[in-house]
Structure 1
């Protein structure tokens, strides 16, 4: 037996990785069929499908094709166990490592050994294997999957095989062998152009083939007439033809009615059974008959189990001898200690046994087999045998003791497949089977799990099994949190769950404590807003997960911890959690479902803080990386619309937000839950109120409130009241608005949510401004601004430009936090205010790639509209620190050879003409923008793209130095779109401006190098390559980034692209007027310094 406990606890038969032994002298070589129906030596086909009935020679034909052409191949013998896609992937990895010298996949091995592989992780794991295989292969290889029809309940395994086929490297080819039509329907199969297909008819023997088979292989004389008759009766079915050659056929017996019937496309079981009865079974000693009939119920026949059943010490030797005498018995291991019957022979024996033995006797055989495997710690096999023997109580005992361990060892698919085969009427009578049937569905179809929790919990209460009740309760809380959104119902379960956990904590397995504590923390946070208890329980879960190095549990607990800080409004603590989560996001041992949770948490934060650009980028990344079916099963799907519309409202795009909400209302089943539908409707009401549809707005906000009352959730209830108040303000129903906002503020303070308190204060300020007077709005306005500034926010849910323009103008006029408010106005509203609160439009100055002045979307001046001296003056002023520069410095820079007096006159003239040129295009006096103060020329109320880029880029690099990689990622994601190219070379000539331009270029290079290397170190090489390609599009001459990109392509085994990069660099050098010799020297340097 071959076994690798590090990858799978199944005992893997040696024949799983090799084709059945085929004696060339005992088989007919199908030369003509191979030449006409199979791909030629050039391997022109991606896939060969051999789909034919049993006994048609499918395996033999594939083996002949591979060996005739000298192909490298890996053989994989499919069994029912491969219905578990994780086991198939593990076994395939073992197969490749065993048969390809030096091949390894260390990351996948680590994931399979130490990680948790759920349905969402299969694609990621397959990609790792394919990437490693691509790097290893120098020649083509065939992966043969034989007997694919043996996969049961195999939707996920079929999906895995589809992905392997559709995304594998060009050197990898496949052969799929099956008795039944394939259920694999990937892109390659649908397209058809890369497939060679052989059916039963293709494999059928013709008259000449039959003659050759008889004379050369069976060594029997046969006439052409006999060959024709055999072909007619058997339709070329190879097994039928071989049976016809046995003496038992006697012609008159085998060809029972040659004129009216044929075997057609299916074997004739009656004749097969006659053959086994008379030709095989009759040759077995009579004293062994009873035992062989019992052996037929075994999955495999280990010699020691056979001894236990038969009480014959030499039964192993007997079985071994029979394999050599062709009694349709096969070895499954190298030491000849495990056997199996040929499937035809096994069916024959089982049919006889069922007629002879009682159901009780047969079940006893299964139970004996189960105990055999249970003693050897082969739990999945034991469970299967107990199930076959209808011993559901024994199954319950195993799952109660070892169920969590099986899940931890990635046996989810195997156990779920087994439980799915139990009729529901039986399953729901067994509490532990019911519980695990629910647990194993959580990652597949979470919306179907509540009946399992309810049934299991009811039975556990009746049986007074508190641990089972605790697990069922904990999972019900999780269900209400993630799927149903019935927060009120979930809240009712918290007290009992908490009591059970505290009572049994000392005796509970660690995974159960972590899960229960995490779900309690979720419940107290989301259902009740009790952040003290939420923090207590998440601390328990996080500590245990870290102590036991469970990466998946660490991720799931950090997700809850992050939300606790988000809802509390503690931005600094949230960012700490976000950084921890970002490192986990790249951890191969973190499952895809937890990665989805972390992505959703980050999107929530980006929406709350109004980081629209990163929100859009990370939403796109989520949609690309996670199957939409998976997203739709949780509340993630509707939240993308809730948070997306909030972003649009804050940008003043109310109609776009309403259009988005209309799509969100029907996006998935979870969107129709009270919890999510309420949120969608309240934002719709807000949008309708902003666009003047007052009656509709009131209708929807009332409906949203009714749904929220049913769903519950303290945080969401508080925010609903706040948003309802915002709606009523626009409807001029100020009493309703004030009542709603007061409720929202009171609840926000109760749960200590700084964030919601901030939202409530701003809306209350606006309500009082509109309903009463500006003075009435000041206290709430100052309170809101203080919370905003103290906690590092510059945005909140329900921010919209009209309200905030009014409130920020009031703050400036009343001298409340003027600098902070002006910064808010510039960042969020793209305007400033005068001292008396009047709006000042920003003068936008574009330096990157081209020079341009604009305002309110209208271009005022381009480089060509200004004189060289005017451009130089503006260049010096724009690039000066704080956009303030001494008059003398300008004079010295522009008129170095003039006397101070003449330089001063020239300066005055130049400034006067520039202001005169610009003034007619400005909505306010030019002095609001350009003014001279005590010999210092100042530029005010402007927005300069280069300075934005510089500020954000430096912030990102600073985050990197501190190890804050998620914040750095967001900063770089914002900075790079601002870079449209270096400053135009022909626009400015002064040394100061040119130095400023060099700083910008160097910053861009540093961003590219730093970000790309961070991504590469995190295992995200494709993203690193994309970053470098994006930056180099702007300047192919950047040597450092070119070297890095070349290195990454080489590391990614993409030598074609690496050569293209070098050639592109060579052309850029030649275009920049380097000599061919110099260009070659640079290329040689890059190659020499790259570590392959």
Structure 2
């Protein structure tokens, strides 16, 4: 193979120097070009045998060079190996689709490059030496001479890698029909040409890794099942391509592939099929109980033959084994081994998007251990995978599931409800039917009910899901149903569901289930005075402790404390220890201790230590006042209007307050800590009145406001929330929407600076939900309140601008457009909002709408008395496309 002409197109002198020495040492005739234009000219002068093409070239990039090479009949057949950086996966996918034969990630080993280069050249040589015979797959006609595939009379548009893959598949079927079989792959060396089986495995798994197999699933649908199952490779790839759309057919093909590989003695192929069957059984569990046996077989095959597979296949097999192990045996060391193997290989191959299942395994282990911080860090790392072209719909579902769990642990019910519809957006509904994701949503519902969220299911749906779910999973829905039945007062039904759930939970080996469901069943059993509730709780606490989940163990300990209290035991010290422990980790233990249990523990906690009991009271939306019992926390709405609420009920509407009372509340909310001296209030309200007169007016205003509050809040006192002490007037024990809104926007902006974009978007979403309009509309223009209103308006505009940018980056253009339009109603002359809105319309191929936005902006500037010259200068910075045919300023 010495003497082949290699053209290197790369502008990096260091790379050219390295390749010059390496290629010369191996006997290749190398030429070099420093730009795309030089490279194309070199090809025109002398056709090389192979091209090494860098993607990041000045002026004309490598993708354009590749496109031009493949568009020219003379150079179309010249093999191209792309040289890419680690962060250029999307470009690499496009390059392969344009016809590139292989890619190598920088920095690379010269030995690896030479071996890959030789393999491509040898493959080309053998292809040229073979007769280009037409191949058939049922009614698919594959014409190698034209590079075409026809389905009946219809020409099928395919990329070069897809065509080459189908060509190999058809050849494998002909071999099977003639009685020949592909041999098992040999251990690969640098100078060995891949045998046909290895080549087919590599080509197919490359397409699978790039999430391109599903695109040719319709072609597999045309092939009868009987024909698919004649070749194990055809059966295997037919199953992979149709896994997300025709799961039943895929299962049959996988069994046929596994059997065919085993019969042919192709152990690496058998490993591939076994791993995929295991993945299907994990994602779509049933009552068969065969997964454990299959997993052991897969692990034995992997130990002996995993290294004989391509890197892509190794990644996939490792992920399948890790996921199956995670749900079969928890945090087994083998799970960590396969998970780490998949992530390492994915990083080495530049296929981070192909590691989504391994990321899910990592996140789920953090979730089980109760490590919320670690889970949030991981979610930020893989948030981009949700839009990654290599991430399949199934993987996207699992990653969304982790996001839902994180939101639940944060107590962010708003974003959890916002995310749930996105879970099914763009997903084939068949992927959710009886799936692991659907079953995990049942566990999510349990945790949501425990922390007091709105019931996600009614009693009938819990019973229906318990009957539909595989028996090893039905306890989740029965446990939730038992609690809901108890809350509805149906103790008989609660007891029946409790007994059935308990019998199924006894067979469960998943410690996460044992902890959550045991907590739920123990709480229900305690309230039903059931004999076995303590055993439920002890088993649950042991499971949580085994996972290293301290806050979940503390939540279970809270229920056990109430057991001891009801049995007449002195729990004073244990209660104090529990209050201290349950307040750690962001109060997660308190949040997930059943609300009924927290309510019954509050009285003894107050008797023991009022100060230590404050977090417990706060978890019930109660506050402790000096000398009094707990009182409900009041919500003061100030955005878009004024109202005072307790829970979901409005106790003081705007019309119940006089203008002066509304202005006093606006003034107090506007200042730091909501505290202001009496003298400052008097000067602000009655600047021209004598001190005695101003003091009298102040006393009268405060008295009337307190009387209004007393009437609405009875039996509680207005002095619990509106206090005057030592000449300082303050709002206490209230929750004000404007202040929460400002805090959420500032948090979102801080998270953007820290590049924690997923959490930033959640903070902006919470802020947006609070924004009902400007601060205290209709109140007079007092300096402090006016300044605070302007500050909030600015925060709204800046926050929504940042959120819109995040939404655009994640492909949610429609949502970003709505947010920008709302922000523009607050600040119509905001240049950045206008430009971002134009970008949204351009991203959706709607330049007319973008141009209309710019024209409306010009009209707004004219109304704001901008001169024609100023408007022209501003509009001149917009894209030329938008300025065409626009009216003069």
- TM-score normalised by the chain length of structure 1: 0.60
Report the Cα offset of residue 956 of structure 1: 1.3
In structure 2, relative to structure 1, the CA distance for the partners of 1:429 and 1:591 (3 Å cut) is closer
How many Å separate the matches in 2 of 1:487 and 1:902? 85
Q: Secondary structure of the residue that 1:1089 maps to in structure 2? A: coil
Report the Cα offset of residue 922 of structure 1: 1.8
- Which of 688, 702, 713 is the equivalent residue of 2:485? 688
Query: Please, what is the CA RMSD of the aligned residues?
Result: 4.3
Report the Cα offset of residue 850 of structure 1: 1.2
Instruction: Say whether residues 1:621 and 2:409 are aligned partners.
Output: no
How many Å separate the matches in 2 of 1:599 and 1:880? 40
How many Å separate the matches in 2 of 1:549 and 1:1041? 36
How many Å separate the matches in 1 of 2:643 and 2:595? 26
Residue 805 of structure 1: aligned partner:
599
How many Å separate the matches in 2 of 1:821 and 1:962? 29
Residue 963 of structure 1: aligned partner:
755
Q: How does 1:576-591 map to 2 (within 5 A)?
A: 576-591=377-392
How many Å separate the matches in 2 of 1:816 and 1:519? 52
- Which of 926, 930, 944 is the equivalent residue of 2:722? 930
Instruction: Say whether residues 1:1024 and 2:798 are aligned partners.
Output: no
Report the Cα offset of residue 486 of structure 1: 6.0
Instruction: Say whether residues 1:480 and 2:281 are aligned partners.
Output: yes
Q: Secondary structure of the residue that 1:840 maps to in structure 2? A: strand
In structure 2, relative to structure 1, the CA distance for the partners of 1:627 and 1:112 (3 Å cut) is farther
Report the Cα offset of residue 422 of structure 1: 7.6
Contact 1:395 1:433 in 2 (8 A): no
Report the Cα offset of residue 448 of structure 1: 5.3
How many Å separate the matches in 1 of 2:828 and 2:317? 55
Instruction: Say whether residues 1:921 and 2:712 are aligned partners.
Output: yes
How many Å separate the matches in 1 of 2:229 and 2:487? 52
**In the TM superposition, what whole-angstrom CA distance separates every residue of 1:975-1034 from its partner, at most 9, and x where no partner exists?**
101101112443143211111111111110111111122333455444422321243355
Instruction: Say whether residues 1:737 and 2:533 are aligned partners.
Output: yes
Residue 940 of structure 1: aligned partner:
732
**In the TM superposition, what whole-angstrom CA distance separates every residue of 1:623-645 from its partner, at most 9, and x where no partner exists?**
23323233336333454455357
How many Å separate the matches in 1 of 2:727 and 2:721? 16
In structure 2, relative to structure 1, the CA distance for the partners of 1:1033 and 1:402 (3 Å cut) is same
Report the Cα offset of residue 1069 of structure 1: 7.0
Residue 715 of structure 1: aligned partner:
512
Contact 1:887 1:935 in 2 (8 A): yes
Residue 178 of structure 2: aligned partner:
391
Instruction: Say whether residues 1:402 and 2:194 are aligned partners.
Output: no
How many Å separate the matches in 2 of 1:1033 and 1:474? 55
Residue 246 of structure 2: aligned partner:
445
How many Å separate the matches in 2 of 1:711 and 1:704? 11
Q: Secondary structure of the residue that 2:645 maps to in structure 1? A: strand
Report the Cα offset of residue 966 of structure 1: 0.7
Report the Cα offset of residue 969 of structure 1: 1.0
- Which of 971, 990, 994 is the equivalent residue of 2:782? 990
How many Å separate the matches in 1 of 2:694 and 2:470? 74
- Which of 895, 906, 910 is the equivalent residue of 2:701? 910
Contact 1:765 1:778 in 2 (8 A): no
Report the Cα offset of residue 911 of structure 1: 2.3
Report the Cα offset of residue 941 of structure 1: 1.7
In structure 2, relative to structure 1, the CA distance for the partners of 1:913 and 1:578 (3 Å cut) is same
- Which of 772, 791, 794 is the equivalent residue of 2:567? 772
Alignment coverage as a number of residue pairs: 740
- Which of 542, 547, 558 is the equivalent residue of 1:751? 547
**In the TM superposition, what whole-angstrom CA distance separates every residue of 1:409-465 from its partner, at most 9, and x where no partner exists?**
256369877877887678668665555554444333345555555566567667775
Report the Cα offset of residue 646 of structure 1: 5.0
Residue 431 of structure 2: aligned partner:
630
Residue 999 of structure 1: aligned partner:
791
How many Å separate the matches in 1 of 2:407 and 2:163? 49
In structure 2, relative to structure 1, the CA distance for the partners of 1:917 and 1:634 (3 Å cut) is closer
Bigger Rg over Cα: 1
How many Å separate the matches in 2 of 1:712 and 1:445? 31
Q: Secondary structure of the residue that 1:562 maps to in structure 2? A: helix
**In the TM superposition, what whole-angstrom CA distance separates every residue of 1:63-115 from its partner, at most 9, and x where no partner exists?**
xxxxxxxxxxxxxxxxxxxxxxxxxxx9xx999x979xxxxxx9987545569
Higher RCO, Cα 8 Å, sep 6+: 1
In structure 2, relative to structure 1, the CA distance for the partners of 1:711 and 1:1041 (3 Å cut) is same
Instruction: Say whether residues 1:513 and 2:314 are aligned partners.
Output: yes
Contact 2:642 2:662 in 1 (8 A): no
- Which of 852, 876, 885 is the equivalent residue of 1:1088? 876
Report the Cα offset of residue 891 of structure 1: 3.0
Q: How does 1:663-702 map to 2 (within 5 A)?
A: 664=465, 671-702=468-499
Residue 608 of structure 2: aligned partner:
814
Residue 397 of structure 2: aligned partner:
596
In structure 2, relative to structure 1, the CA distance for the partners of 1:934 and 1:498 (3 Å cut) is farther
Report the Cα offset of residue 745 of structure 1: 0.8
Instruction: Say whether residues 1:658 and 2:487 are aligned partners.
Output: no
- Which of 504, 507, 528 is the equivalent residue of 2:329? 528
Report the Cα offset of residue 562 of structure 1: 0.9
In structure 2, relative to structure 1, the CA distance for the partners of 1:337 and 1:796 (3 Å cut) is closer
Contact 2:551 2:585 in 1 (8 A): no
Q: How does 1:219-234 map to 2 (within 5 A)?
A: none
Compare 565-574 and 749-758 and name the one that shifted more: 749-758
**In the TM superposition, what whole-angstrom CA distance separates every residue of 1:641-696 from its partner, at most 9, and x where no partner exists?**
55357535644655964355367568xxxx53224433222211221122222222
How many Å separate the matches in 2 of 1:785 and 1:912? 40
Report the Cα offset of residue 1042 of structure 1: 3.0
Q: How does 1:464-479 map to 2 (within 5 A)?
A: 466-479=267-280
Residue 1010 of structure 1: aligned partner:
802
Contact 2:514 2:539 in 1 (8 A): no
How many Å separate the matches in 1 of 2:597 and 2:528? 14
**In the TM superposition, what whole-angstrom CA distance separates every residue of 1:27-48 from its partner, at most 9, and x where no partner exists?**
xxxxxxxxxxxxxxxxxxxxxx
- Which of 554, 558, 563 is the equivalent residue of 1:762? 558
How many Å separate the matches in 2 of 1:717 and 1:761? 15
Residue 951 of structure 1: aligned partner:
743
Report the Cα offset of residue 738 of structure 1: 0.7
Contact 2:476 2:501 in 1 (8 A): yes
Report the Cα offset of residue 946 of structure 1: 0.6
Instruction: Say whether residues 1:894 and 2:685 are aligned partners.
Output: yes
Q: Secondary structure of the residue that 2:284 maps to in structure 1? A: helix
How many Å separate the matches in 2 of 1:813 and 1:764? 19
In structure 2, relative to structure 1, the CA distance for the partners of 1:1060 and 1:1009 (3 Å cut) is same
Contact 2:481 2:497 in 1 (8 A): yes
How many Å separate the matches in 2 of 1:683 and 1:413? 37
In structure 2, relative to structure 1, the CA distance for the partners of 1:972 and 1:873 (3 Å cut) is same
Q: How does 1:107-118 map to 2 (within 5 A)?
A: 111=93, 113=95
Residue 352 of structure 2: aligned partner:
551
In structure 2, relative to structure 1, the CA distance for the partners of 1:785 and 1:1008 (3 Å cut) is same
Report the Cα offset of residue 743 of structure 1: 0.7
How many Å separate the matches in 1 of 2:626 and 2:399? 44
Report the Cα offset of residue 483 of structure 1: 0.8
Q: Secondary structure of the residue that 1:982 maps to in structure 2? A: coil
In structure 2, relative to structure 1, the CA distance for the partners of 1:741 and 1:800 (3 Å cut) is closer
- Which of 412, 422, 425 is the equivalent residue of 1:611? 412
Residue 635 of structure 2: aligned partner:
844
Contact 1:1036 1:1065 in 2 (8 A): yes
